[in-house]
Amino acid sequence: MRDFSADHRWLSINTATLRGAGPLDTAIDACARHGIRAISPWRDQVAAIGLERTKGLVQRHGLALSGYCRGGMFPAMDAAGRRAALDDNRRAVDEAATLDAACLVLVVGSLPGALAGAPQTKDLFAARRDVHDGIAATLEYAGSAGVPLAIEPLHPMYAADRACVNTLEQALDLCDAIDPGRRAGPKGAALGVAVDVYHVWWDPKLEAQIARAGKDRLLAFHVCDWLVPTCDLLNDRGMMGDGVIEIARIRGWIEAAGFAGHSEVEIFSTEDWWKRPVDEVLATCIERHRSAV
Amino acid sequence: MRDFSADHRWLSINTATLRGAGPLDTAIDACARHGIRAISPWRDQVAAIGLERTKGLVQRHGLALSGYCRGGMFPAMDAAGRRAALDDNRRAVDEAATLDAACLVLVVGSLPGALAGAPQTKDLFAARRDVHDGIAATLEYAGSAGVPLAIEPLHPMYAADRACVNTLEQALDLCDAIDPGRRAGPKGAALGVAVDVYHVWWDPKLEAQIARAGKDRLLAFHVCDWLVPTCDLLNDRGMMGDGVIEIARIRGWIEAAGFAGHSEVEIFSTEDWWKRPVDEVLATCIERHRSAV
């Protein structure tokens, strides 16, 4: 297992962690100031300052992109909705390719309308079919563009509105169904998973499924912590070390399976970290990356 | 599949649903007034009016007990804590026997201290060991008392503080490990599971695991609904039909596996149902039992 205690070369900052810091250029400058070597930006943050400007900043600071957030949201009530989702995912692939991201993270979606608070159906099975078909179609395009797709299983508390893929086993079953031959691209596997400890830490099958995934399918590793109590289903994630997740144990499993990429910090925290000065947030990420990841 | 549309003979009211109605005697009287034939009370509610008084009320109104809530909470930081938990579970078994409950529901517990907001450890593996050993020890006692034990897998969002058993598959693995011979008691299986749609609806393996459980292991079926959005991790459960769970589909799986007991309504709802008049709550439960379960 790699020693993270001496430096933070394997730390990546998912820029959602810095939503309190203003626009993406400000966040990137702050990362550079702290010697951060990798980031993972969100599409809305990139769109706000422009793709080319983002690319320029990333190149100027010599940043790697441990991922790009996010594609997915495949389910829809009709064929036109599904086509629109595929179009949007192709644009996300193009952006990920432009920014040379290690992968495009897929938050696959679930019941149409639920994210806006008005689910139009209860049919989780239809949602799963749309997700299967959407990933299969997007994989063709992403493969040509050389962008690996990383299915992110989301915590089951997001099953209605954000993702109907909720365990690593289910995500890997989906990978095997869509890509049984484990096709490879210029950056390794064309299809795999993003393992975020926040979503999967509770799973009794986690260690076994990480081993099953293996190096090829492990495309991203996200860290934060589960707070006790947790006061909001979406935006009350904790800083590594402040909660109950045995992050280092899970990193041990991931590395035993062959993963050697970044530990990407992704913290949604409206009431705490998003309210703190960006330099405090980044200094804490760096310290906890050394001591609690 | 049984037709629930004509009457509510298979409806049971978990009395946590009526926490807004005052003490348990008031709640039981209200249930009797609405022709409810079964309830499932909580230990604190029973303790508040007395076990013998509860038994008298239950008998006077001819109520069945679809379950008794709850045993469990086995993990502790030391042997004294584990012994105290076993003692408490024996008392719960005795109470369940006195009230002639169909089963004692087990919310198994997880990280010691977490329920009080101060977890003393992050070791989920130790918690799972304590749960295994606690259930095994309690099963001996419960078997002699003729009280079936129903392990309730809780939604993964409760993995830190309430239960480290979070899927039906995990609960059934535990049943098989502790009770490989599927021992029987006077009320059927001595050890099984309580399936609450709120906790398991998202699980892609749910149908298969219900079939695996079979009649012997299916000791209780709890219903409510998952609201979109859900505003609180614990106390924002919805009335059946108001959320996105395909309850009838899940009941179909349960009944195909041989379950023929009550559908027990368990709704924790500080901001909605606990604020409404008890007669409105019960009338709605009855109507939704007919139309949405």
> Are the C-beta atoms of residues A193 and A166 closer than 8 Å to each other?
no
Write out chain B's pLDDT in tens, 293 residues.
999 999 999 999 999 999 999 999 999 999 999 999 999 999 999 999 999 999 999 999 999 999 999 999 999 999 999 999 999 999 999 999 999 999 999 999 999 999 999 999 999 999 999 999 999 999 999 999 999 999 999 999 999 999 999 999 999 999 999 999 999 888 888 999 999 999 999 999 999 999 999 999 999 999 999 999 999 999 999 999 999 999 999 999 999 999 999 999 999 999 999 999 999 999 999 999 999 99
Query: Chain B within 8 Å of A245 (Cβ-Cβ)?
Result: yes
Contacts of A167 in chain B (CB under 8 A): 204
- Report the chain A residue with the minimal C-alpha distance to residue B164: A202
Q: How many CB atoms lie within 10 A of CB A57?
A: 20
DSSP state for residue A37 in the 8-state scheme:
-
CA distance B251 to B257: 10
Q: Write out the two tokens for B38.
A: 């079964």
For A132-140, what is the mean pLDDT?
97
Q: Where are the beta strands (DSSP E) in chain B?
A: 11-14, 38-40, 64-65, 68-72, 104-107, 149-151, 184-185, 188-189, 191-196, 218-223, 263-265
Task: Specify the pairing of strand A104-107 against strand A68-72.
Answer: parallel
**Which amino acid is it at A260?**
A
Residue A185 predicted with pLDDT over 90: no
| Residue of A118, A119, A228 lying closest to B160 (CB–CB) | A228
CA distance B79 to B84: 9
The reply to whether omega before B112 is within 30° of 0 (cis) is: no
Task: Taking each helix axis as running N to C, give the angle between helix B79-98 and helix B51-60, from 0 to 180 degrees, rounded to the nearest 10.
Answer: 30
C-alpha distances (whole Å) from A71 to each of A67, A79, A103, A134, B10 are 11, 18, 10, 11, 45
> Are the C-beta atoms of residues A169 and A207 closer than 8 Å to each other?
no
| Residue of B119, B123, B202 lying closest to A156 (CB–CB) | B202
Task: Say yes or no for a CB contact (<8 Å) between A204 and B122.
Answer: no
> Are the C-beta atoms of residues B120 and B127 closer than 8 Å to each other?
no
- Report the chain A residue with the minimal C-alpha distance to residue B112: A244
Give pLDDT, residue A89.
98
Q: Please, how many CA atoms are within 13 Å of residue A81, restricted to the half-sphere of its CB? A: 14
CA distance A106 to A38: 19
Q: How far is B34 from chain A (nearest CA, A)?
A: 30
Give pLDDT, residue A200.
98
Cα R_g (chain B), whole angstroms? 18
- Using the CB atoms, write b or e for B113-151: b if 16+ within 10 Å: ebbeeebeebbbebbbebbbebbebbbeebbebebbbbb
Using the structure block, give the residue that is written with the tokens 């992704």. A266
**Which amino acid is it at A264?**
E
DSSP state for residue A239 in the 8-state scheme:
P
Contacts of B117 in chain A (CB under 8 A): 228-229
| Residue of B157, B161, B245 lying closest to A122 (CB–CB) | B245
Which are the contacts of B130, defined by CB distance < 8 A and separation ≥ 6?
A: B74, B75, B76, B82, B109
Contacts of A155 in chain B (CB under 8 A): 156-157
Task: Say yes or no for a CB contact (<8 Å) between B228 and A202.
Answer: no
Burial class (CB in 10 A: 0-12, 13-18, 19+), A290: middle
DSSP state for residue B66 in the 8-state scheme:
S
Three-point CA angle B9, B12, B13, nearest 5°: 140
Contacts of A123 in chain B (CB under 8 A): 246
Strand order in the sheet with B263-265: B64-65, B38-40, B11-14, B263-265, B218-223, B191-196, B149-151, B104-107, B68-72
Question: What pTM, to 2 d.p., does this model score?
Answer: 0.98
CA distance A184 to B238: 46
Task: Specify the pairing of strand A188-189 against strand A184-185.
Answer: antiparallel
> Are the C-beta atoms of residues A153 and A163 closer than 8 Å to each other?
yes
Nearest partner of B189 among B197, B181, B200, B177, judged by Cα: B181
Give pLDDT, residue B185.
82
Task: Say yes or no for a CB contact (<8 Å) between B202 and A119.
Answer: no
Using the structure block, give the residue that is written with the tokens 């919805």. B238
* Secondary structure of residue A191 in the 3-state scheme: strand
Interface pTM, i.e. ipTM: 0.97
Q: How far is B203 from chain A (nearest CA, A)?
A: 8
Scanning A41-100 for CB atoms below 8 A from B yields none
pLDDT in tens, A203-214: 999 999 999 999
Give pLDDT, residue B187.
82
Give pLDDT, residue A188.
80
